[in-house]
Amino acid sequence: MTVTGTRERVAVPTPRARSMPTGAWGAKAGFVVAVLAVWEIGIRLGDFGAIPAPTVLGKALVDLIAEGRIAAPVLDTLTSWALGLLVSAAIGVPVGLVLGVSTSIYRLCRFLLDFLRTIPSLALVPLAVLLYGSGLASKTLLITFACVWPIMLQTVYGVRDIDPVAEETCRSYRIRPVQRALFLILPSAAGYLATGLRIAAGVSLLLSLSAEIIIPAPGIGQEITMAQLGGAVPTMYAWIVAAGVLGIVINFLFARVERRALRWHPSQRQGGGR
Amino acid sequence: MTRIMRILRTLAWEFSVPLVLIVLWWMLSGASGSLYYPPLSRILTRFHELWLFERFTTDALPSVTNLAVGYLSAATIGIGLGVAMGLTPWLRETVNPAVQFLRALPAVALLPLAIQLLGIGWSMKAGVIFFGSLWPILLNTIDGVRSIDPLVNEVARSYRITRRQQVLRIVLPAAGPQIFVGLRASLSVAVILLLASELVGSTSGIGFFVLQAQRQFNITDMWAGMVLLGVLGYLLNLGLQAIERRVLSWHLASRRKNRPEARSQTKKESAVD
Amino acid sequence: MDRRSFLLAAGLSATGLVAACGGNQARDGGTTADGRVVTNVGVTPLLNAAPLYLGIKKGFFTSEGLAVTAKTIQTAATAIPSMLKGELQYALVSTVPAINARVQGLQINMVLGNDVYAQEAKDDGAAILVRADSRIKKSADLAGATIGVVGLKSMPELAVRLAMRQAGADPGSAQFVELPYPEMNSAVKQGRVDAVLSADPFLQQGLDQGLRQACAPYSEALPKVTGLTWIGAGPYLQEHSDVAQRFVRAMTKSVQYAAEHPDEVRAVAGTFTTIPAKALAGIRLPIFDPRLETAQVEKIAKAMVTEKFITKEPDLNGLVRA
């Protein structure tokens, strides 16, 4: 494997890898403004019940920020989000590697995998609380139970998609399993894995919020519940919007990581060499 | 004869781990006095009483119908929109912030909105399932379409293939494996949302049943409901896998031939940002 | 390789199960630096929880040597596991889930009452709301209607069913649907349901929006019956009976104080609920009352059997222990 060679090649950005021209930002902003305008007019004209208009909602959100009430719940949510994602990756990647390499082990575990990953994490709330209480540990458990599957699956898919020629080369040079895992399998699967992590990052946030709503545990989710119980509907939607914004930020960061992960991806070599 | 033997052997292999686990669970839980971890024998008895077939038509069937409607519409719209967004950069760039925002909204928090817009009937539940399972399909389709070698599309253009032909013959097959990754991820999301969507405004359904059992501390019934969800998930995945194998037979075949040219599916482009 | 992974998987799941079987004993919360007993109390941030916050503010718990912290709970389905785990020592829940838990053999006890339902509709903080043009004018008219309640097979549904039965209507003819309080008013207006059992502050909002109050099931069917009660885990109460008695004394004092000082209830409510200040001023307060009688609990349990919430009346012996 010519790892250094790969890096040098990709250091030269291809035209498509460059970010969109500044005009695209205008289009993005325009689209967002258009959606908000339709929403505001819709509320003013029709009966949408408890849904607040964007202006009302925006004011509630600004109030939350101005009163300094937004930081602590966001931090609580982010802590469980990160911890859950970390634990999921620590379990999902190694297990995914093994399952990807060996079809027979995959077959052995398939029933268990498909069975477990369709059991909704949220149904486990009382059991999680009984075992780990209503705090961070329970949230992490529930997140892990949901996030480990996309990471594991993407790793399996990534490992299976390894270049057969590179694999043959490894085999004929009798490269040892550990090295094979480090220098062939992991780099090849990096693209899929990065996508898996990005998906899992989203799922982790969703689960974090849902668990906070249902248990309830400290975080944005609990604030949503509290606002709902007290009838502070605009505040409730303000928290939901805050959760959405958090999602955008997380996705943006992971998309960056994903792009980095793909830079040294072997397939880039082929593309760059053309 | 040998074929039957082979199939039997495969089945035996596939079910050996579950079987061992079930036996272990059975033995370890046999004397359990804990309310929250009842003996497996009791769970299975309840499973038999409940789902074969007393509550099958009243609870299981409506849930599965909602699931089917929500998931299939998510697949249709997700793949359609994904292909469009994958092929047209300006559309992708414009809609992307909205997609990322919507994707980050937890279904549980959106239930009030769903009730507001779709009421409390089956359409609300199918809508919630649709909303949640759309994103993995959409994002994977976009990724799959974008990772097609630009050269291929250029060649297609120079041969004056129509847009429709290009999508059907080139784009969809090439993005197929990645689309199926999304379809599989979405399937388990859909089952999870089956439960979440029945949190409010429900009078029947598997999710409703599980939640109701939980609230009444009828934990054995809750386990029986979760076993049903697990079995349902396994069967749905099996079905999807069969479809995948048929649809992507060309991809698997090319894989087996060990030709480097067949590597159409390794991801080259960065994902949607 | 294959066999090893096989054994590994089997071993992992076995440990998972073993771990799952443990952890079912109640613990106490330890003591603070100044020797007070740490007591965590689970409450839903509604007006009904005001006595706890008043008690903390007034130092009723401190003078009994308790360091009480309020924790947010939402449903008994998660509060009771949390209590069995030892995270919470007490929780404020409605009678129905407490009886449900008892039916399933969970060791919980009621230690004192918190509030009783009103005797007259005008004092009732919850009521059936319908559209102004609805045919529903009283409890009997609810026959055949679709009714939104905040939780199925819970206290609100029980109250509506009892009120209907008392008025001569068949509760079985009505269909109950679960709806969160904020969605109730618009669900009635849009005709998605015929009626809802709303509660303050949503009740007042509904009336302001032109909905009409048809009847008040709690005051009709359950006047002066205990609503919310304070519960604790049986093993904990047994092992720490002295601490438990101190908690009951302080809590009783707090509930009585709340009953006598409505203005302070409103003031303290602003600190732990998100109810807007304007709504808080006009809201009907719960009727706080610490008394708890087995006969009342039995009345609810009997009703739960009649309305098929549970199949047979549970053994309530020892459920109430003050």
- Give residue-wise pLDDT tens across range C50-79: 999 999 999 999 999 889 999 888 888 888
Q: C320: which DSSP letter?
A: B
C24: chain B residues, CB-CB within 8 Å: 34, 36
Q: Which domains does chain A have, with CATH numbers?
A: 52-273 (1.10.3720.10)
As a whole number of angstroms, the distance between CA A240 and CA C112 comes to 37
More confident residue, C214 or A214: C214
pLDDT of residue A14: 36
Task: For residue C187, give the chain A residue with the closest CA.
Answer: A49
Q: Quick check: A2 pLDDT over 80? A: no
CB-based contacts of C218, cutoff 8 Å, min separation 6: C117, C118, C124, C126, C159, C227
Give the mean pLDDT of chain C: 84
Q: What is the 3-state secondary structure (H, E, C) of B137-192?
A: HHHHHHHHHHCCCHHHHHHHHHCCCCHHHHHHHHHHHHHHHHHHHHHHHHHHHHHH
pLDDT of residue A140: 92
B203 has a chain C CB within 8 A of its CB: yes
Task: For residue B226, give the chain A residue with the closest CA.
Answer: A119
Q: Under DSSP, is residue C133 helix (H, G, I), strand (E, B) or coil?
A: coil
Q: Quick check: C322 pLDDT over 70? A: no
pLDDT, one tens digit per residue, over C193-234 is: 999 999 988 898 889 888 999 999 999 999 989 999 999 988
Q: Quick check: C128 pLDDT over 90? A: yes
More confident residue, C5 or B237: B237
pLDDT band for B253, please (50, 70, 90 cuts). Answer: low
Q: Is residue B13 a part of any domain in this protein?
A: no
pLDDT of residue A23: 57
Q: Residues of B numbered 110-169 whose beta carbons fall under 8 angstroms of chain A's beta carbons: which are they?
A: 110, 112-113, 116, 135-136, 139-140, 143, 149-151
Q: Quick check: B97 pLDDT over 90? A: no
B273: chain A residues, CB-CB within 8 Å: 252, 255-256, 259
Q: Under DSSP, is residue C29 helix (H, G, I), strand (E, B) or coil?
A: coil
Q: Do A118 and B236 touch (CB under 8 A)?
A: yes
pLDDT, one tens digit per residue, over A15-56 is: 343 444 555 677 777 777 887 888 778 777 766 666 788 888
pLDDT, one tens digit per residue, over C283-299 is: 889 999 999 888 888 88
Is the CB of residue A159 less than 8 Å from the CB of residue C48? no
Q: Do A107 and B231 touch (CB under 8 A)?
A: no
pLDDT band for B8, please (50, 70, 90 cuts). Answer: confident
Task: Report, as an integer, the average pLDDT of A174-181.
Answer: 74
Q: Do B28 and C178 touch (CB under 8 A)?
A: no
pLDDT of residue B154: 74
Is the CB of residue C318 less than 8 Å from the CB of residue C109? yes
Lowest pLDDT segment from A109-123, B221-235, C64-78: A109-123
Residue with tokens 């036996």: B23
Q: Is residue B258 a part of any domain in this protein?
A: no
Alpha-helical (H) ranges within chain A are 3-11, 23-45, 54-66, 71-101, 103-117, 125-132, 136-160, 164-172, 177-180, 186-214, 220-230, 233-263, 266-273
Q: Could you tell me what percent of chain C has a pLDDT over 90?
A: 35
As a whole number of angstroms, the distance between CA A4 and CA A1 comes to 9
Q: Do A230 and C201 touch (CB under 8 A)?
A: yes
Q: Could you tell me what percent of chain C has a pLDDT over 70?
A: 91
C103: chain B residues, CB-CB within 8 Å: 216-217
As a whole number of angstroms, the distance between CA B219 and CA B37 comes to 8
Question: What Rg value do the Cα atoms of chain A yield, rounded?
Answer: 23
As a whole number of angstroms, the distance between CA B189 and CA B128 comes to 11
pLDDT, one tens digit per residue, over A55-66 is: 888 888 888 888
Task: Report, as an integer, the average pLDDT of B208-226.
Answer: 84
pLDDT of residue A50: 67
Task: Copy the structure tokens of residue A116.
Answer: 């477990």
Q: Is residue B20 a part of any domain in this protein?
A: no
Question: What Rg value do the Cα atoms of chain B yield, rounded?
Answer: 22
Per the omega criterion (within 30 degrees of 0), is the bond before B112 cis?
no
Q: Is residue B90 a part of any domain in this protein?
A: yes
> Which range has the top average pLDDT, A83-87, A105-109, C133-137?
A83-87
Q: Minimal CA–CA distance to C188: which of C205, C172, C165?
A: C205
| A28: closest CA of chain B, how far (Å) | 5
pLDDT, one tens digit per residue, over A146-169 is: 889 888 888 888 888 776 777 777
pLDDT of residue C146: 92
CB-based contacts of C251, cutoff 8 Å, min separation 6: C51, C52, C55, C60, C90, C111, C112, C230, C290
Q: Could you tell me what percent of chain B has a pLDDT over 90?
A: 6
Q: Do C186 and A50 touch (CB under 8 A)?
A: yes
Q: Is residue B6 a part of any domain in this protein?
A: no
DSSP element (H, E) containing A219: none
pLDDT band for B74, please (50, 70, 90 cuts). Answer: very high
pLDDT of residue A263: 63
B21 has a chain C CB within 8 A of its CB: yes
Residue C38 bridge partners (DSSP): C67
Is the CB of residue B169 less than 8 Å from the CB of residue B147? no
Q: Do A161 and B266 touch (CB under 8 A)?
A: yes
Q: Is residue B256 a part of any domain in this protein?
A: no
| C14: closest CA of chain B, how far (Å) | 7
pLDDT of residue B260: 40
Task: For residue B270, give the chain A residue with the closest CA.
Answer: A259
Q: Do B212 and C153 touch (CB under 8 A)?
A: yes
pLDDT, one tens digit per residue, over C157-175 is: 999 999 999 999 899 899 9
Q: Minimal CA–CA distance to C68: which of C223, C253, C206, C234?
A: C253
Is the CB of residue A120 less than 8 Å from the CB of residue B108? no
pLDDT of residue C51: 94
What CATH number is given to the structural domain containing B212?
Answer: 1.10.3720.10
Residue type, A141: L
> What is the domain range of residue B217?
39-248
pLDDT of residue C12: 40
pLDDT of residue C260: 93
Q: Is residue B169 a part of any domain in this protein?
A: yes
pLDDT band for C28, please (50, 70, 90 cuts). Answer: low
Helices (runs of H) and strands (runs of E) counted in chain B: 12, 0
pLDDT, one tens digit per residue, over B163-201 is: 777 777 777 887 888 888 888 888 878 887 888 888 777
As a whole number of angstroms, the distance between CA C300 and CA C298 comes to 5
| B31: closest CA of chain C, how far (Å) | 10
Beta strands in chain C (DSSP E): 37-43, 66-72, 90-94, 108-113, 115-116, 126-130, 146-149, 175-178, 195-199, 212-215, 228-233, 287-288
Q: Is residue B179 a part of any domain in this protein?
A: yes
C75: chain B residues, CB-CB within 8 Å: 215
**Count of domains observed in chain B:** 1
pTM for the whole thing?
Answer: 0.78
Task: Report, as an integer, the average pLDDT of A80-109.
Answer: 89
pLDDT of residue A48: 64
Is the CB of residue B110 less than 8 Å from the CB of residue A247? no
| B135: closest CA of chain A, how far (Å) | 9
pLDDT, one tens digit per residue, over C236-247 is: 888 888 889 999
Q: Minimal CA–CA distance to C88: which of C21, C32, C38?
A: C38
